[in-house]
Amino acid sequence: MGLPGRGLAGGLATTFRTMTRRSITQQYPDVSPDLPPRTRGVIALLEENCTVCMLCARECPDWCIYIDSHKETLPATTEGGRERTRNVLDRFAIDFSLCMYCGICIEACPFDALFWSPEFEYAELDIRELVHERDRLALWMDTVPPPPPLDPGAEEAKEIAAARKAVAAPAPTGDRHGEGAAR
Ligand code: SF4
Ligand code: SF4
């Protein structure tokens, strides 16, 4: 059997010990939280990259991505060539009242049109306002952080290596057409 009051003394000792430590509470909203770079706050749309392939909407487990589009016919660029059709985006919306922030749409997009933004301050009093249409999704792009640097020793992405090589390649010497015109 222990000494009487031992538990109380132990409790008071813990209280005094923690009283002297600095508090780690973040005073949100007066102080913005320091969020990790991969925070899943809201999804941003880079509309220029979207080809309306519909993969994101098909893969979304919650069916909360709404896409409408129509086809547009482009005239042939060469004589005797064929006309081409392309998809034109009419609507792109995400319902964040249904979204479970799984990130599958971002992973599934083959054209880098969707990104995570760490922004999370978009609560609404009316749940219908949580459907973000394409204009609002595009505005979130300004808040998407740059990609984190590669790990030391990691291999550079093929696209970046090819672009770097193209820039470093010496410019062609002499313009054959120009030379012909000068003669
Ligand atoms: S994060 Fe997941 S649930 Fe949300 S829109 Fe993308 S796929 Fe759907
Ligand atoms: S997967 Fe990407 S490119 Fe395809 S519709 Fe979705 S956002 Fe657009």
Classify residue 8: in a domain, yes or no.
Answer: no
CATH code of the domain covering residue 55: 3.30.70.3270
Taking the CA of residue 114 as reference, the ligand 2 atom at the shortest distance is 7
Nearest ligand by distance to the CA of 87: 2
What is the H or E stretch that residue 76 is in? none
For 134, the domain range is 34-148
Amino acid making up residue 53: C
Classify residue 9: in a domain, yes or no.
Answer: no
Distance 114 CA to ligand 1 centre (A): 11
Q: From atom 8 of ligand 2, which residue's Cα is the shortest distance away? A: 50
Classify residue 173: in a domain, yes or no.
Answer: no
Q: Would you give per-residue pLDDT tens digits along the chain (183 residues)?
A: 577 889 999 999 999 988 888 877 888 999 988 888 789 999 999 999 999 999 999 999 999 999 999 999 998 888 888 899 999 999 999 999 999 999 999 999 999 999 999 999 999 999 999 999 999 999 999 999 998 888 888 888 888 889 988 888 877 665 444 444 333
Q: From atom 3 of ligand 2, which residue's Cα is the shortest distance away? A: 50
Cα separation, 131 vs 57, whole angstroms: 14
Classify residue 48: in a domain, yes or no.
Answer: yes
Ligand 1 pocket, 99 CB below 6 A? Answer: yes
Token duo for residue 74: 């482009």
Classify residue 62: in a domain, yes or no.
Answer: yes
**Number of structural domains the chain divides into:** 1
Ligand 1 pocket, 144 CB below 6 A? Answer: no
Taking the CA of residue 96 as reference, the ligand 1 atom at the shortest distance is 4
Classify residue 154: in a domain, yes or no.
Answer: no
Taking the CA of residue 57 as reference, the ligand 2 atom at the shortest distance is 6
Classify residue 178: in a domain, yes or no.
Answer: no
Classify residue 170: in a domain, yes or no.
Answer: no
